Amino acid sequence: MAMALGNSIRRSAWTAAAAQLLILLGSADILAETRNHKGDVSDVRVVRRVEQHPYAWRVWQPFIVQGERERELIVAYGAMVNGKKDMGDILAVISRDDGGAWSEPVPIFNHRERQGAVQFAYANPVLYRAPGQDVIWCFAMRCPISYENSEESRLVGAFTADGGWSWTQVELNMKYSGPLITNAAPAQTEIDGRKVFLLPAHRNTLQNDPRGTRDHFILSSTSLLEWKLEAYIPQPTTARVFLHEGNMAPGDNPGELKIVMRTADYDNSALTTNPPRAYSSVSADGGHTWSVAKEEPDLHNAKSKAYFGQATDGTHIYVYNDGPAQSEGGRMALRYKTKAPGGAWSEQQTFYDAGIKNSYPTLIEVAPGDFRAVWDSGTATRARTHIHFGKLKLKP
């Protein structure tokens, strides 16, 4: 009882402290960015800034999920350790007022905690609540901190049973033994009459090994604790494409799964495909086998993570960076397209544009057609200085 009372006091104190912090530290910036941005995202807030992490030089790749209560949201994000290209700590922040204010961060994976003599760093969190479960999972990548980057990572997991205020790390049973890169949350499906969870991932061993590969694949699990290789996404029959960072959602036909993937040139990942397009693949058997990847002629992709998902009414949504992959600004405005069931993709619409760098959007639908979104933002010249939150209502 004393512990419960202490938790209640701490949470009440957090509400007041978070509101005060918002006023004292961030309100001017928040108001300025809200006034100046263009696009259909509303109620824009700064969730966290890199200056609040003295050991980090970037904050990046946020992921959002609904919490236990109405108007409660949880965001996981990475704080990139100084001297590292793409790894550090994974932290969670909580909002109890639909994104108006955010808690102080809670560590999920901490690079300063050694495992024996080995020190790890972490990257690319994805949050997931299985249907009918109260537990929320965070899957991410774990890599020895001595490595140059996180391309040789392994899958790691943690769960929270108290709405994100504390996290328990779990050692996963992996029947896939290779390196992987995470990007999107699992999806529940059915294969041969069994309920399974599918987790999209890819690998880029070609970066440091001339006999390596750049493959997109699907892991499967019946428990979220044990994972095996379920399928590879087949390469196009003509020129190979670096398929990576795919998002899964129900497809256009009943019982169909679809994955839409970020792309680059297979042999030289510094180049886009020609033209720069996302590629997709579909499965008609619950994710056990997939069609040959093909170009999505209406979906731009310039070597940056995009979000692909489906609303309650069946409308698909695709949120992406516009423009060329490498330009003076690079990864600036976020745009989006929607596609009604049985229809075609809409014209490009502006998601968020403030003359600053933006990338890696993730969305969650909280009510029919009503989404909450997070993405990493920067300045006009510097990437990933803060995490943004906003709301998007799909137009009828």
| Residues 263/279, Cβ–Cβ less than 8 Å | yes
- Dihedral sign, Cα of residue 396, residue 314, residue 290, residue 154: positive
CB 232 within 8 A of CB 257: no
Q: Which of 189, 187, 211, 191 is nearest to 201 (CA)?
A: 187
Cis omega before residue 275 (within 30°)?
A: yes
Residue 323 has a pLDDT of 77
Asked if pLDDT for residue 27 goes beyond 60, the answer is no
Structure-model confidence comparison of residues 148 and 278, the more confident one: 278
Please check whether the domain covering 2-393 is classified as CATH 3.40.50.1820. Answer: no
Average pLDDT value for residue range 304-318? 97
Nearest to 215 by CA among 291, 150, 269, 266: 266
352 or 3, which is more confident? 352
pLDDT higher than threshold 80 for residue 14? no
Q: How far apart are CA 299 and CA 203, in angstroms?
A: 23
- What DSSP state is assigned to residue 341? T
Q: Show the tokens assigned to 139.
A: 């899957």
**316-321 and 334-339: which strand pairing?**
antiparallel
Domain boundaries, the chain: 2-393
User: What pLDDT digit, counting tens, does each position of 66-98 carry?
Assistant: 998 889 999 999 999 998 989 999 999 999 999
Tokens describing residue 115? 């495992």
Enclosing H/E stretch for 213: none
Model-level pTM?
0.90
Residue 11 has pLDDT above 70, yes or no: no
Q: What percent of the chain has pLDDT over 90?
A: 78
How many Cβ atoms from other residues are within 10 Å of residue 14's Cβ? 18
- DSSP letters along 83-121, please? T-SS-EEEEEEEESSTTSS-PPPEEEE-TTS-BTTB-EE
- Tokens 């972490």 locate to 122
Whether 234 has a pLDDT exceeding 80, the answer reads yes
pLDDT score at 12: 46
In the predicted model, is pLDDT for residue 287 greater than 60? yes
Mean pLDDT (the chain, rounded): 90
Please, which contacts does 27-30 make with residues 24 or more away whose CB atoms are closer than 8 Å?
none
pLDDT in tens, 367-388: 999 999 999 999 999 999 999 9
